[in-house]
Amino acid sequence: MSAAGDRILTNEYGDYPLLEFRMPAAGHEIVVCGEAINITTDDEMEFFDGLRYTVPFAAALWPGAIGLAEQLAELAEEFADRYVLELGAGIGLPGIVAAALGARVVQTDHKVVSAELAQRNAELNGIGNIEYRLSAWTSWHNRDRYDWIIGSDILYYDDMHPFLMEILDRNLAPDGRVLLADPYRPPALSFLDRVLAEGWQVTTFQRTIRLDDRTRDVGIFLLEKSPLPSVSNED
């Protein structure tokens, strides 16, 4: 994994150099560019205190996205020829990895800059099997069913959790699975409590993200709907 500044994001506030992030996946190197690469909590605080007012969250690469992308690469066989929905795609790293593994991917976010950067990053990697949709959870119209629903760093607002649950219920195929990633922020943990209370099975994996001298532990949460109890016909 490495970072180097050599590209530009232009918006109404000015020109911002983009940082380049690289990781191995699907037998080759995946490259994405974002305005910032936030790994540690200090990185996040610096971003929130400064650039958040001129550059949206969606233009940065977050630790959960890196952790999720790494996990997808390890589950390569699970994504070949699958239909995948990525929520809160940001600059697109996990969805790009899923597409590189052979999945047909729909990436969604509610920020125009996200769709633009995600598409640019897919083109940078020669990835063409991704569809981009601008979609807000509060006005969700997608009715498709997906083999996988994935998302990273999307659990930070408790108020949005009910909308997320509705999407999971509406859009996950009967045998589908959900893979979410977050560096153990408190709202993410409250979301996990919620899904457990609603009868989902949750399996947690942990990855340690390393970039230069920065590290961060990230939880990868596999969500599966618990099977309904069998009903006996015996008297």
Stated pTM of the model: 0.92
Residue 165 CA to residue 171 CA, distance in Å, equals 10
Specify the residue for token string 């633009």: 116
Which residue, 171, 184, 176, is CA-closest to 219?
184
Q: What is the pLDDT of residue 57?
A: 78
- Superfamily of 63-225 according to CATH: Vaccinia Virus protein VP39 (3.40.50.150)
For 203, the token pair is 């399996």
| CA distance readout (Å), 137 to 70, 96, 103, 124, 233 | 26, 21, 23, 28, 42
Helix (H, G, I), strand (E, B) or coil at 7: strand
Q: What is the pLDDT of residue 235?
A: 46
Q: What is the pLDDT of residue 3?
A: 44
Q: What is the pLDDT of residue 10?
A: 66
Per residue of the chain (235 residues), what is the pLDDT tens digit? 444 445 776 655 556 788 999 999 988 899 999 988 999 999 998 888 866 566 677 889 999 999 999 999 999 999 999 999 999 999 999 999 999 999 999 999 998 888 889 999 999 999 999 999 999 999 999 999 999 999 999 999 999 999 999 999 999 999 999 999 999 999 999 999 999 999 999 999 999 999 999 999 999 999 999 775 544 455 4
Residue 146 CA to residue 178 CA, distance in Å, equals 10
What residue ranges do the domains of the chain occupy?
A: 63-225
187: enclosing H helix or E strand: helix 186-197
